[in-house]
A and B are shown apart, each in its own frame.
Chain A
Amino acid sequence: MKKSFIAAIVLSFGLVACGGGGEASTETTTKEKPKSMLKKTIDPMQDKGVGPITSVTIDAEINQEMASAGKEVYEKMCTACHKPTEKFIGPAPKGVLDRRTPEWVMNMILNPEQMVKENDAAKKLLMEYNGSPMANQNLTEEEARQVLEYFRTL
């Protein structure tokens, strides 16, 4: 009796130590629904996303100089996946500010890894586009702002 008891303890000790991270106990199940299902749908025009941009001021008139700088950045860094007016690898930016806040757009450019993990709208887009990741092209905030201004001209 004693022998088998010792062996069992030794064995389980060995397993835990070598296996690492194995769940020792199962959690008690609750009837609560998973958090995500309880979440309210966020109004996209209120959703600023997650990332460095918390507030963007947009003038009534388009700043043409900024927009043309943005066009240049966009053509260099973005067109491999985004055509200005038609769906391609990713969505077309035409009219994006009718669907999204400027902060959300800039955060998606500047912080895509966190956005597709934590922002529901971004998560949905990732699935809609078959898991094709939004590449982080390491634009500066200034460049992202210029690209945003260019989007207004489309």
Chain B
Amino acid sequence: MKKHNLFLPVIAALMLMVSCGGPQGGAETFKKPGGALSSNAAERVYVAPGEYDEFYAFLSGGFSGQLAVYGLPSGRLLKVIPVFSVDAEKAYGFNEETKPMLETSFGFVPWDDSHHPELSQTDGTTDGRWIFINGNNTPRIARISLETFETVEIIEIPNSGGNHSSPFTTENTEYVVAGTRFAVPNPQRDMPINEYKGNFKGALTYISVDPEDGDMEIAFQILMPGFDYDLSHSGKGKSHGWTFFTTYNTEEAHTLMEIGASQRDKDFIAAVNWKKAEEYLAAGNFKEVPANYVNNELDEDSHTATSTKHTTVKVLIPEDCPGLVYFLPTPKSPHGVDVDPTGEYIVGNGKLSADMSVHSFTKMLNAIENELYDGEAYGIPILKYDEVLAGIVTEPGLGPLHTEFDAFGNAYTTFFISSEVVKWKVGTWEILDRVPTYYSVGHLMIPGGDSKHPDGKYLVAMNKITKDRYLPTGPEMNHSAQLYDITGDKMELLLDFPTIGEPHYAQAIPADRVMQHSKKFYKLDENTHPYKALNENETRMERDGNDVHIYMTTIRSHFAPDNLQGVKVGDVVYFHVTNLEQDWDVPHGLAVMGARNSELLIMPGQTETMKWIPQREGVYPFYCTDFCSALHQEMQGYIRVAPKGSNPELKWSLNE
């Protein structure tokens, strides 16, 4: 019997893992002696019902164009914020108010590829005010309010193609930057592609951020040689005032890039002295050149976006601005460039290199001062590699992509080809630990891990390939993320969860820096929407030629008015719906039969507008889409449509 007593818990534990953990989780824990149960991994990520997570994590949606908000350590999905792509669920890009958010110089663009979320910072610390994210394809940067978790501004980046090294911030959010991945003819023109070399240029754009309201403006662009500008990070502490951009394709190839852009042993990290740029601007040493871009802003009180066109941009030419840009030779096709929390070390993640080169900011300044140059490229001095190098992390893994930091002088680098995260010591370059990822990791994220003050504790690895990690869902699998505990000497895998689109990069912040400012509802008193109806007495229908405006309200659980007449085929009908609720989490929806856009989802106190073009005479129902009360199913109405060419009288009513 005694023998069995010992045996029982073991079997029970195994049984548990199989029945709860699923085959992969189970298989993983079986592989390692000790396993997830003995290490309490489940307990450490368990957030009890009704409890809150410790961190907000913002994972980019990649080719979904959006931004996903997760809680850590639970990995629970809290929200998907629409940014660059239309979202029928929230009527983003479908209602009249948000359509201007997706305007560009090319017109309405309903999709983009969102890569890098970046939290605003004050004194190098994430401050929970805004999060920025880049649109890669039609170059743009978006600003999202962390009060409303809504996209409140999008600015287009001119003279750019593939806005990839973006939107990394300076330590007080003076600027977010946008380096072009694809060089393009400058000025843009019809020309032979094979005349790329010397004619194509890469623009590095500095977007200023208003410290009060976050308003973004293009402050200046630096017109660089036609390399590919891959990623960037601004300096901090002692290196505040500088930004570092990685380059590849310094070969300036224009075809079969996977060979053509991988010829040189070293490419460059471009070090930009943006304080110097400000001096040149102030001195008038810039060119104002034609540019075509828009800036879209959402007004919080009218809940309405406007799109403004701009036609010029200030450009600095490095050749004419000595001291503005230097090149740091870095092996080989470096991808990420990451600055440690002290601001001293600049890590070049040379993705095709066997080793990783780390540069010293102090040595860089010395090399500049003593003109320790190794020639120049397009008028930009190339600093001597040995004179800027701080150290080399020797053979850390295959295909280094990105590095983040903890608060204890450790760095963590992802290796795409060898599918692992490697922990190493900043300063001694010694490798301390390595853990596998599943599979082919791209970015990694530590809360505050690219700031002056990392909040540490966890590391999230974001993987490009999922394969067998979850139940199969056909040929396409969601990408995967893994959560590691980094509080000990050894990194420890705690959790594995699927993500939306492709989470290139992420940021995370302690919850209390955000949640205390989170908005609960919009005050009716502050509603300045031109078509608002602040109570049922203000509801009405108005005709303006072929346009019919319906001023409508919602409250649990009816529309006012709910019987609408006087519309005819050939009209354009606008449902302007004000939600009269003044309480947290009581949105109402509106769906109208045959509407060729989406529903509306109207937050308390907000006004939203649906454009509806009646096509056939008849009587059509509309209803509330968001279950609002026990009488939600009764929240419905009718709109009557008269034949084309008729002249029906406008009539609206409730309870008549």
A138 touches B583 (CB 8 A): yes
A79 touches B535 (CB 8 A): yes
B15 touches A13 (CB 8 A): yes
Contact A135:B555 (CB < 8 A) given known A6-B11, A76-B535? yes
Interfacial chain B residues near A11, Cβ < 8 Å: 15
Q: Which of B15, B536, B586 contacts A135 (CB 8 A)?
A: B586
B207 contacts chain A at the CB level, 8 A cutoff = no
Q: Which of A13, A81, A130, A138 contacts B630 (CB 8 A)?
A: A130
A135 touches B556 (CB 8 A): yes
Interfacial chain A residues near B558, Cβ < 8 Å: 80, 89
Interfacial chain B residues near A132, Cβ < 8 Å: 556-557, 629-631
Interfacial chain A residues near B521, Cβ < 8 Å: 138
Complex CA–CA separation, A81 to B557 (angstroms): 9
A77 touches B16 (CB 8 A): no
A79 touches B537 (CB 8 A): yes
Interface pairs (28), CB distance under 8 Å: A2-B4, A6-B4, A9-B12, A10-B8, A10-B11, A13-B16, A14-B12, A14-B16, A18-B16, A75-B537, A76-B524, A76-B535, A77-B582, A79-B536, A80-B553, A81-B555, A88-B655, A89-B558, A130-B631, A131-B630, A132-B629, A132-B631, A133-B556, A133-B630, A136-B582, A136-B583, A137-B581, A138-B583
Those of A97-137 within 8 Å (CB) of chain B: 130-133, 135-137
A37 contacts chain B at the CB level, 8 A cutoff = no
Query: Could you list which residues of chain B lie within 8 angstroms of chain A, going by C-beta atoms?
Result: 4, 7-8, 11-12, 15-16, 19-20, 521, 524, 534-537, 553, 555-558, 560, 580-583, 586, 629-631, 655
Find the A residue at minimum CB distance from B553: A80
A17 contacts chain B at the CB level, 8 A cutoff = yes
A128 to chain B, nearest CB (A): 13
Complex CA–CA separation, A76 to B555 (angstroms): 12
A19 to chain B, nearest CB (A): 10
Find the B residue at minimum CB distance from A76: B535
Those of A1-34 within 8 Å (CB) of chain B: 2, 6, 9-11, 13-14, 17-18
The 3 closest A-B pairs by CB, nearest first: A131-B630, A80-B555, A137-B582
B16 touches A6 (CB 8 A): no
Beyond A133-B556, A137-B581, A138-B583, 8 additional contacts (C-beta under 8 Å) are: A9-B8, A9-B12, A77-B535, A77-B582, A80-B535, A80-B553, A80-B555, A132-B557
Interface range on chain A (Cβ under 8 Å from partner)? 20 to 34
Interfacial chain B residues near A137, Cβ < 8 Å: 581-583
Query: Could you list which residues of chain A lie within 8 angstroms of chain B, going by C-beta atoms?
Result: 2, 6, 9-11, 13-14, 17-18, 75-77, 79-81, 88-89, 130-133, 135-138
A6 touches B8 (CB 8 A): yes
A86 to chain B, nearest CB (A): 10
Complex CA–CA separation, A69 to B582 (angstroms): 19
Complex CA–CA separation, A76 to B526 (angstroms): 13
Q: Which of A2, A18, A79, A130 contacts B19 (CB 8 A)?
A: A18
Complex CA–CA separation, A70 to B558 (angstroms): 24
Complex CA–CA separation, A84 to B553 (angstroms): 19
Complex CA–CA separation, A93 to B74 (angstroms): 48
Interfacial chain B residues near A6, Cβ < 8 Å: 4, 7-8, 11
B11 touches A80 (CB 8 A): no
Interfacial chain B residues near A75, Cβ < 8 Å: 535, 537
Interfacial chain B residues near A81, Cβ < 8 Å: 555-556
Interfacial chain B residues near A17, Cβ < 8 Å: 16, 20
Complex CA–CA separation, A135 to B556 (angstroms): 7
Q: Which of B19, B537, B580, B583 contacts A14 (CB 8 A)?
A: B19
Find the B residue at minimum CB distance from A5: B4
Interfacial chain A residues near B15, Cβ < 8 Å: 10-11, 13-14
Interfacial chain B residues near A136, Cβ < 8 Å: 582-583
Interfacial chain A residues near B536, Cβ < 8 Å: 79-80
Interfacial chain A residues near B524, Cβ < 8 Å: 76-77
Complex CA–CA separation, A136 to B604 (angstroms): 11
B580 touches A131 (CB 8 A): no
Complex CA–CA separation, A17 to B13 (angstroms): 10
Interfacial chain B residues near A13, Cβ < 8 Å: 12, 15-16
B525 to chain A, nearest CB (A): 8
Complex CA–CA separation, A131 to B19 (angstroms): 41
Interfacial chain B residues near A18, Cβ < 8 Å: 16, 19-20
Interfacial chain A residues near B556, Cβ < 8 Å: 81, 132-133, 135
Interfacial chain B residues near A77, Cβ < 8 Å: 524, 535, 580, 582
A61 to chain B, nearest CB (A): 29
B631 touches A131 (CB 8 A): yes
Complex CA–CA separation, A18 to B15 (angstroms): 11
Interfacial chain B residues near A2, Cβ < 8 Å: 4
Interfacial chain A residues near B4, Cβ < 8 Å: 2, 6
Complex CA–CA separation, A6 to B521 (angstroms): 56
A78 to chain B, nearest CB (A): 9
